[in-house]
C-alpha cells in the first residue's frame, strides 16, 4: 500500500486541466491507496511575510506569536514525509509556477528538516520518494534553456529537498483550439493514469 500526496495549484477549479490529469491519476490508483489531497486554490498557504518567516525558519522558537505559521509548516512537512509519491498539479502561469504553489514550497523547504547544508554543500533530506508533475499550458514550447520556467523550477525545488525521481506529464497547446486541446488532455490523462497502475 502506498501513500500519495496531491498538491493542486490551479485557480480553475473543475475546468482545470492539471486537476483533470491529477484526477485521472487518482482514478487509476489501486484500491487501498491512501491519498492526502491538498488544494492550494481553495486552501491557500499564506505568503511568507516578516511575521511568518520568524515562525518557519530553522531557529524559530516554539510557540509564541509565530506558532500558527509553525504549526501549518509542520503539518505540510509531515504530509511530505508521509508520502511515497507526491503528485503536483502545475499550471503554467506567466512562464512560471502559480504563486500559491511557490508559497507551499516556501513553507516546505525548511533548513535542517527537508534539506541541510554541510561541508559538502546542500543535501536533500526527503529521500526515497517519487514525484509526478501534471503540467498544463495554453501554448506549445520547445523547453530549451529552462524556458518556460515552471517545470525546471519545481524540479529544482523538489531536487533540493532530495526528490529527484520526477516524472513530468504535460498537456499543452490548450489554447490551440478545442480539437488540439481535447487530444492533448486525452493523451496526457492516459499517460498519467498508466503511472498509477
Ligand X SMILES: Cc1cc2nc3c(=O)[nH]c(=O)nc-3n(C[C@H](O)[C@H](O)[C@H](O)COP(=O)(O)O)c2cc1C
Q: Which spans of this chain sit near ligand X (rule: CB under 6 A)? A: 10, 12, 16-19, 91-95, 136-139, 174
**Nearest residue to the partner ligand X, using Cβ:** 91
Q: Give start and end residues of each alpha helix (H) in the chain.
A: 17-27, 50-56, 67-82, 99-108, 150-160, 178-196
Q: Classify residue 147 by its DSSP letter.
A: B
d(CA 19, CA 91): 9
25 grid coordinates:
491519476
Between residues 29 and 136, which has the closer beta carbon with respect to ligand X?
136
d(CA 123, CA 111): 10
- What minimum distance in Å lies between the beta carbon of 105 and ligand X? 18
Instruction: Give the count of alpha carbons within 13 A of 64, CB side only.
Output: 9
- What minimum distance in Å lies between the beta carbon of 40 and ligand X? 12
Between residues 20 and 114, which has the closer beta carbon with respect to ligand X?
20
Between residues 9 and 114, which has the closer beta carbon with respect to ligand X?
9
Distances (CA, A) of 33 to 16, 43, 196: 24, 23, 10
- What minimum distance in Å lies between the beta carbon of 138 and ligand X? 3
Between residues 11 and 82, which has the closer beta carbon with respect to ligand X?
11
Between residues 34 and 94, which has the closer beta carbon with respect to ligand X?
94
- What minimum distance in Å lies between the beta carbon of 45 and ligand X? 18
Q: Considering only CA atoms, which of 191, 192, 194, 170 is closest in space to residue 181?
A: 170
Q: For residues 87 and 131, is the Cβ–Cβ distance under 8 A?
A: yes
Residue the block writes with cell 485557480: 11
- What minimum distance in Å lies between the beta carbon of 94 and ligand X? 5
Between residues 10 and 189, which has the closer beta carbon with respect to ligand X?
10
- What minimum distance in Å lies between the beta carbon of 122 and ligand X? 29
Amino acid at each position: 500500500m502506498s501513500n500519495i500526496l496531491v498538491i493542486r495549484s490551479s485557480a480553475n477549479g473543475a475546468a482545470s486541466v492539471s486537476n483533470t490529469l491529477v484526477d485521472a491519476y487518482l482514478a487509476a490508483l489501486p484500491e487501498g491507496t491512501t491519498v492526502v489531497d491538498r488544494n492550494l486554490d481553495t486552501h491557500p498557504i499564506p505568503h511568507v511575510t516578516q511575521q511568518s518567516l520568524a515562525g518557519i525558519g530553522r531557529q524559530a522558537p516554539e510557540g509564541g506569536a509565530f506558532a500558527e505559521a509553525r504549526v501549518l509548516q509542520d503539518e505540510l512537512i509531515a504530509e511530505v514525509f508521509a508520502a511515497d509519491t507526491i503528485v503536483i498539479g502545475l499550471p503554467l502561469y506567466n512562464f512560471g509556477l502559480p504563486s500559491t504553489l511557490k508559497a507551499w514550497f516556501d513553507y516546505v523547504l525548511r533548513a535542517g528538516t527537508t534539506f541541510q547544508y554541510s561541508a559538502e554543500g546542500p543535501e536533500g533530506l526527503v529521500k526515497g520518494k517519487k514525484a509526478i508533475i501534471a503540467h498544463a499550458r495554453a501554448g506549445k514550447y520547445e523547453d530549451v534553456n529552462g524556458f518556460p520556467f515552471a517545470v525546471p523550477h519545481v524540479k529544482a525545488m523538489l531536487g533540493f529537498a532530495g526528490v529527484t525521481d520526477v516524472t513530468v506529464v504535460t498537456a499543452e497547446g490548450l489554447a490551440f483550439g478545442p480539437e488540439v486541446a481535447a487530444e492533448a488532455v486525452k493523451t496526457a490523462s492516459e499517460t498519467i493514469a498508466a503511472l498509477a497502475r
